[in-house]
Amino acid sequence: MTTTPVIDIKQISKIYGGKNANQVYALNNITFTMQEGEFIGIMGASGSGKTTLLNVISTLDNPTNGTISIAGTDITRMKSRELSDFRAQRLGFIFQDFNLLDNLTVYENIALPLSLQDVPADFIRSKVSQVMEKLNITVIAEQYPSMISGGQRQRTAAARAIVHKPALLLGDEPTGSLDLKNAVSLLEMMKRLNEEDRISILMVTHDAFSASYCKRILFIQDGQLVKELYRSSSREIFYKQILNVLGDYGSTAAEGIAIETNNSYGSER
Ligand SMILES: Nc1ncnc2c1ncn2[C@@H]1O[C@H](COP(=O)(O)OP(=O)(O)OP(=O)(O)O)[C@@H](O)[C@H]1O
What is the position in ligand 1's atom list of the atom closest to the CA of 16? 4
CA 240–ligand 1 middle distance (angstroms)? 27
Asked if residues 137 and 185 have their Cβ atoms less than 8 Å apart, the reply is no
Candidates 226, 189, 186; CA nearest to 48 is 226
Residue of 23, 42, 50 with the most ligand 1 atoms within 8 Å of its CB, for mutation: 50
Q: Which of 12, 25, 52, 218 to mutate to test the pocket of ligand 1 (most atoms within 8 A of CB)?
A: 52
Question: Ligand 1 center to residue 104 CA distance, Å?
Answer: 33
Query: What Å distances lie between residue 198 and 26, 38, 81, 117, CA to CA?
Result: 31, 8, 29, 23
Q: What is the pLDDT of residue 17?
A: 86
Q: Residue by residue, what is the 3-state secondary structure of 108-127?
A: HHHHHHHHCCCCCHHHHHHH
pLDDT digits (tens, 9 = 90+) for 219-231: 999 999 999 999 9
Tell me which residue of 40, 16, 39, 12 sits closest to 26, measured CA to CA: 16
d(CA 218, CA 118): 37
What Cα–Cα distance (Å) separates residue 210 from each residue in 25, 30, 192, 225, 269?
A: 27, 24, 14, 20, 12
Tell how far the Cα of 200 is from the centroid of ligand 1, in angstroms: 25
Question: Which residue's CA is minimally distant from atom 5 of ligand 1?
Answer: 16
Q: In what order do the strands lie in the sheet with 168-172?
A: 91-95, 168-172, 201-204, 39-43, 216-221, 224-230
Of 1-5, 22-26, 220-224, least confident by mean pLDDT is: 1-5
The residues lining ligand 1, judged by C-beta closer than 6 Å to any ligand atom, are 16, 24, 26, 44, 46-52
pLDDT digits (tens, 9 = 90+) for 162-173: 999 899 999 999
d(CA 203, CA 188): 14
Atom from ligand 1 closest to the CA of residue 206:
25
Q: What gap in Å lies between CA 217 and CA 206, rounded to an integer? A: 11
Query: Which residues, at least 6 apart from 215, have a Cβ–Cβ distance to it below 8 Å?
Result: 38, 39, 40, 194, 230, 231
pLDDT of residue 111: 96
27 CA to centre of ligand 1 in angstroms:
9
**CA-17 nearest atom, ligand 1:** 4
Instruction: Spell out the SS3 assignment of 213-256.
Output: CCCEEEEEECCEEEEEEECCCCHHHHHHHHHHHHHHCCCHHHHH
**Which tens digit of pLDDT belongs to each residue from 62-90?**
999 999 999 999 999 898 889 988 998 89
Task: Give the ipTM.
Answer: 0.97
Average pLDDT over residues 207-212: 96
- Structural domains in the chain, CATH included, are 7-98+170-265 (3.40.50.300)
Choose one of 13, 48, 56 to mutate for the ligand 1 pocket test, by most ligand atoms within 8 angstroms of C-beta: 48
